[in-house]
Amino acid sequence: MTRVLITNDDGVDAPGIRALAEAVRGRGYDTVVAAPAEEQSGMSAALTAVTEGGRVAFETRPPGYAVAASPAYIVMLAFLGVFGPPPDVVLSGINRGANTGRAVLHSGTVGAALTAANHGARALAISLDVIAPGELDSGGTAFTITDDASLHWTTAADLAADLVDWLTESPPGTVANLNVPDRAGSELAGLRRATLANFGQVRMAVAEQGADFARLTLERGDPADEGSDVALLEQGFAALTALRPVAEAANTAIPTQRAPH
């Protein structure tokens, strides 16, 4: 039976991971949940943990293991057998907010998936779009954030659970990134393969700067290229992007090493 580890970067008590675990268990997979005890967003693949005497602390909560560590660290612990048999598949999410474009470099959700690939596993990062059109606020932000209780977590959870068989049949080290619009499953335009947008849905900008400080804000990025993950989300599609795990760039020319004089 396929062994599935479910983790995230929003924390073990986040609604997204609960919905994902319920959907995956409902498909009959051998499932274990291990996620940060507290939110660890933006951690990328950082290996950080709170230790006491060299011990990483974790406790059992209703969703699963609450671990005082970053998502990537938790994945590493899972492959060391800390939470039972090592997983065949790692699902990371459901993140509160889309992880799109080249900005996925900074995502703890995606970082956990890439870490799984380093161990030869298949992995899927899952994110739900929470940005809705809105009026300009005082900070110049042209969007609003949808309340958790109103989000369609089950839409993303069901899509992800349906992809586990595909992942299992994929080559070892396969990593994919799934972004899902916030709408009922019956209202999705479909599932499409996507390219990475130049950056993401939003980007940082300097709102105010002084001699000894800077205040940042978020603003919408440039119009997305057709077929990119950002563009497909805007069109109502769930966007699936295959990511390349970290590897050497074999075809890059480098200077010839010189012998010491």
Q: Please give the C-alpha separations between residue 90 and each of 7, 152, 220, 235, in angstroms, as whole numbers.
A: 8, 22, 31, 28
The Cα 57–Cα 75 span in angstroms is 15
What are the beta bridge partners of residue 3?
30
Q: What is the pLDDT of residues 182-234, one digit of tens each?
A: 999 999 999 999 999 988 777 777 888 988 888 877 767 677 889 999 999 99
Pairing of strands 143-145, 131-133: antiparallel
For the domain 3-131+147-198+225-243, what is the CATH code? Answer: 3.40.1210.10
Query: Going by C-beta distance under 8 Å and a sequence separation of 6 or more, which residues neighbour residue 191?
Result: 159, 237, 238, 240
| Per-residue tokens: 207 | 């709102």
pTM of the model: 0.91
pLDDT of residue 133: 57
Q: What is the pLDDT of residues 73-82, one digit of tens each?
A: 999 999 999 9
Q: List per-residue pLDDT tens for the chain, 261 residues long.
A: 999 999 999 999 999 999 999 999 999 999 999 999 999 999 999 999 988 889 999 999 999 999 999 999 999 999 999 999 999 999 999 999 999 999 999 999 999 999 999 999 999 999 999 986 554 444 445 567 778 888 999 999 999 999 999 999 999 999 999 999 999 999 999 999 999 998 877 777 788 898 888 887 776 767 788 999 999 999 999 999 999 998 888 888 888 767 666
The Cα 2–Cα 87 span in angstroms is 8
pLDDT of residue 138: 45
Q: Compute the mean pLDDT over every residue in the chain, rounded to the nearest whole number.
A: 91
Domain boundaries, the chain: 3-131+147-198+225-243
